[in-house]
Chain A
Amino acid sequence: MRYDVAVIGAGINGVYTALELLDRGIEKIAIIEKNYPGSGGTFRCATGIRASFTSREHVVLMKRSIEKWKELSNRFGFPFVQGGYVWLLSREEHLRNFKEYVRFHHSLGVPTRIVDPDEIKELVPTIKTDTLVAGVHDPIAGKSNPFTALLNVLEYLKKSGVEVRYPEKAEKIIVENREAKGVLTEKERVEAETILVAAGYGSRDILSTCGVDAPINNLPKHALITEKYREVFKPLLVDWETASYMVQTVSGGFLIGAELEEEYNRPPMNRIEFLYTAVRIWSKYFDWFPSTHIIRYWTGYYVMTPDHHPILGPVKDVESLYVSTGFSGHGFMIAPAASEAVAEWIVRGKPGIREAENLTIDRFKEGRLIHEIAVFG
């Protein structure tokens, strides 16, 4: 069987791109996944969704994404809760920087706002604000559920005839006369008109099998979740001083990420310092936090590019090969918009959203890195 499109990787981006292709009338689609769907970054993520970024490309794509999250969550019956984001600022200099970001957000129609400690208390009941100078509120940001967001769509794809092949590792992209012809998996040769690499942390390896060098590095990250509790607050919180975040998931657990020094491309390991760091930071804000029970701690990768922006779209040197990866820690939130753009590219030769055109892999060779007014969370 020859497929119209073979997608490598059943994370949120591979799966959502398959959906967008199906919606555009492409029917013979295979998704090849080496482990199980969601097992890469997707099921490990905090599901934070926001448009308050510091580059035009990010803001435009994320705004589109938020629109699509509303649509998709209704269509497939999974949660999308627009509970907002709150950045907690403990230094005057950070507040000065944020004032500039807020102006930038407003210029692109993202309604962020500086809030004082009393307003933070209203947005985040029970928080102690004595160490804070101010906060920043993004009211249109939100959160979802990584499991239903992926699996409900996957179920629909399967019913509509998309072949989800797993566990089956893609080992080589077959290129003849500078044109991608198929994928050699650990089981067999899979023929396809078009190949899409959406393989998250495995993207660099699989692209290198056909001579494409993607400047991607995998950065180990740590996260934990507590048992479930009744809702205390809705927004995702970022402690700007430490770059740690905390979100009460839609199911009720408190999910926390915190920074630890890590080396690129190393297999991540559980480190007790992570638990200490997370507990120290968030016990400072919430008296009740030490009484929660942490039930899981896991690691995962941020798939980083040099300019912290994704790689989307066609590859100049190889006909019929497309890429959707390098999301640098934001690949969940952007998935609806990135998938739409990539599907449009495959079907109509253009991404629909103009800003996406700046994100092709060739930008690294051609020195067109994305400019940000600041590197931001």
Chain B
Amino acid sequence: MVLPDYRIYEHPILDFKRGRRVKFYYRDKVIEAYEGESILAALYAVGYRVFNRSPKLGLPRGAYCMIGKCSSCLSVVDGVPNTRICVEPVREGIHVEPQEGLADIRRARRQENVETIRVETDLLVVGGGPAGLKAALVAAEHGADVVLVNDHFVLGGQLVKQTHKFFGSRDYFGGTRGFRIAEMLSKKIKEYNNIRVYTNGFAYGYFKGGVVGVAVHGEHPLNLLVKAKTVIAAPGAAEKGLDFEGNYLPGVMGAGGAQTLMNQYGVRPGDKAVVIGSGNVGLIIAYQLLQAGVKVEALAEILPRIGGWFVHAAKIRRLGVKILTRHSIVRAIGTERVEKAVLQAYDEHFHPIPGTEKEFGVDLVLISIGLQPDTKFFAQAGAVMKWVPEAGGLVPIRTWGQETSVENLFVAGDASGIEEATTAFIEGEIAALSALLKLGIGGKEVEERRGKLIDFLWNEYRMAPVVRRAREGKLKVTVSEEEMEKIRIGEYT
């Protein structure tokens, strides 16, 4: 049987240079893939949509986040169950199986003794998105010894899938396409021999004595114990889900998930889509879907007005996409995957208006209703947190210098509250400068640079009306050193 082919070969912006050919097994089928693809992307490219079934009802589960944050894709890889195949690279000859409900751990292959390596460093950076990369570079520039760990096997975080030219300050790559920024920074990181990089390295915990455990997964698993004088954690964010009938069906996906498939791996996520949410991300996704050859049937927004920028909206309208304000999804229909989506009009009290259902024959429902900071690392470390809706949820309280209530642990980027890449860069830099001060590196020059940057961030950059709300959110969780001391004393309640 010939498998379908969803790989994109022609694209207006991207030129997919695929790696070496790799063969692996899915059930008993041989799958052809390319080096650098995740297992999930390779399977998706040849038409697989269901990777897992839910434990109780046996419902199908497909790709959702594509960055290892949602557990929708748990599969068995070489006998190891509960493997997130969206962040596991393909390798020659591996055996992959779907997972039906809870895994039978008794059948797991006995894992070899994983080697433990202990390293010491001035600064450990957790997360290689814009915030983490910038932090590592600034610290390394000043001569600090840096270890950078990134869960994904590719550095760059969200940048790797963004094909559009970035808005924001030129000093912070405004006008450059996201994935190019990631390439530039990753290249620069390699130039420093005082930065040790571990991709595929998941920081699993922060322990007494400032030790961070890092599980390096993949072909050569490793337990890396990093004793760091300072730690900057920038683990990013996860996409929010939406509650509606049939939301479990494969084809219902985070907008960022679809973006990963098409822009990072060159795999068309489907044929026809509806997009839910009209923030900039939703608008950009709609445009990128069109570029990838997906028909966008409609874009729904529950509010009376479009959330994102007018220019983005105008662009997709010109290309014939219907934007339905005061609408949302009420139902996805299908058995093994989405076949139809039902949108409905909502009144000013956010109640659906009966009789206004509109049915669309689509195989994709992309949810783009915002992100939620990934703060598990901080919670486990015992950092005092606060619920701030404007920041996307629960975030650690921090000083102006980005230090949390756990001394020498800093936060930067989306994990500190949802904003954008420019502020992630700036926060990463501020955190790095603060860490340098703690390390006693740099002195006055570093202090001045940090002061200027904090001033620029708060009194200039964040004053723009479009980012006001984010500024207000972050103000609620940013405190002075003195206030932080008080929080630390009353820390355990």
Contact = CB atoms under 8 A, between A and B. Distances in A.
B310 interface: no
A159 interface: no
A347 interface: no
A348 interface: no
Given A252-B102, A287-B110, A291-B105, A229 B81 contact: yes
B225 A272 contact: yes
A169 B410 CA distance: 30
B279 interface: no
B490 to A, nearest CB: 11
A270 B105 contact: no
B105 A229 contact: yes
Interface residues on A, range: 20 to 34
A133 to B, nearest CB: 25
Contacts of B382: 269-270
A275 B205 CA distance: 10
Interface string B443-459: 00000000000000000
Interface stretch (B207-215, B266-274, B332-340, B419-427): B207-215
Contacts of A229: 81-82, 102-105
Contacts of A152: none
B81 A290 contact: no
A271 B208 contact: yes
A34 B108 contact: no
A2 interface: no
A9 to B, nearest CB: 14
Consensus secondary structure, chain A interface: loop
Contacts of B207: 269-272
A160 interface: no
B106 interface: yes
B169 interface: no
B412 to A, nearest CB: 22
Chain B interface size range:
20 to 34
A293 B215 CA distance: 11
Contacts of A288: 105-108, 110
A35 B493 contact: yes
B389 to A, nearest CB: 18
Contacts of B109: 291
A292 interface: yes
A240 interface: no
Interface string B210-241: 01010000000000010000000000000000
Contact of A34 (B107, B204, B493): B493
Interface string A73-113: 00000000000000000000000000000000000000000
A294 B493 CA distance: 26
A296 B105 CA distance: 18
Nearest to A299: B382
A126 B208 contact: no
Contact of B82 (A125, A227, A290): A227
Contact of B102 (A230, A271, A287): A230
Contacts of B179: none
Contacts of B101: 230
B80 interface: yes
Contacts of A232: 105-106
Tell me which of A287, A291, A297 has the highest count of chain B C-beta atoms within 10 A of its own C-beta: A291
A228 B213 contact: no
Most buried by B among A227, A230, A292: A230
B111 interface: yes
Interface in B101-132: 101-111, 114
Interface string A24-50: 000000000011000000000000000
Given A229-B105, A230-B104, A267 B492 contact: yes
Contacts of A291: 79-81, 105, 108-111
Contacts of B492: 267
Contacts of A267: 491-492
A270 B103 contact: no
A230 B105 contact: yes
A316 B108 CA distance: 59
Contact of B106 (A126, A271, A294): A126
Given A288-B108, A291-B109, A272 B493 contact: no
Contacts of A270: 205-208, 380-382
Contacts of A35: 493
B320 interface: no
B175 interface: no
B304 interface: no
A269 B492 CA distance: 10
Interface in B158-211: 204-208, 211
B93 interface: no
A271 B492 CA distance: 17
Nearest to B213: A272
Nearest to A271: B208
Nearest to A276: B116
Contacts of A227: 82
B428 to A, nearest CB: 25
Contacts of B225: 272
A272 B205 contact: yes
B438 to A, nearest CB: 20
Interface in A201-238: 227-230, 232
Contacts of B105: 229-230, 232, 288, 291-292
A297 B81 contact: no
B205 A297 contact: yes
B77 to A, nearest CB: 11
Contacts of A34: 493
Contacts of B47: none
B70 to A, nearest CB: 14
A228 B380 contact: no
A272 B211 contact: yes
B72 to A, nearest CB: 14
Interface in B474-493: 491-493
B38 to A, nearest CB: 18
B106 to A, nearest CB: 5
25 contacts: A228-B55, A228-B102, A229-B103, A230-B102, A230-B105, A232-B106, A269-B382, A270-B206, A270-B207, A270-B380, A271-B208, A272-B225, A287-B110, A288-B106, A288-B107, A288-B108, A290-B110, A291-B79, A291-B108, A291-B109, A291-B111, A292-B105, A292-B108, A293-B82, A294-B204
Given A229-B103, A252-B102, A294-B204, 6 more contacts: A35-B493, A228-B102, A229-B104, A230-B103, A291-B109, A296-B380
For the complex of A and B, the 10 pairs showing the least CB-CB separation, nearest first, are: A291-B108, A267-B492, A272-B207, A229-B105, A290-B111, A230-B102, A269-B208, A288-B108, A271-B208, A230-B104
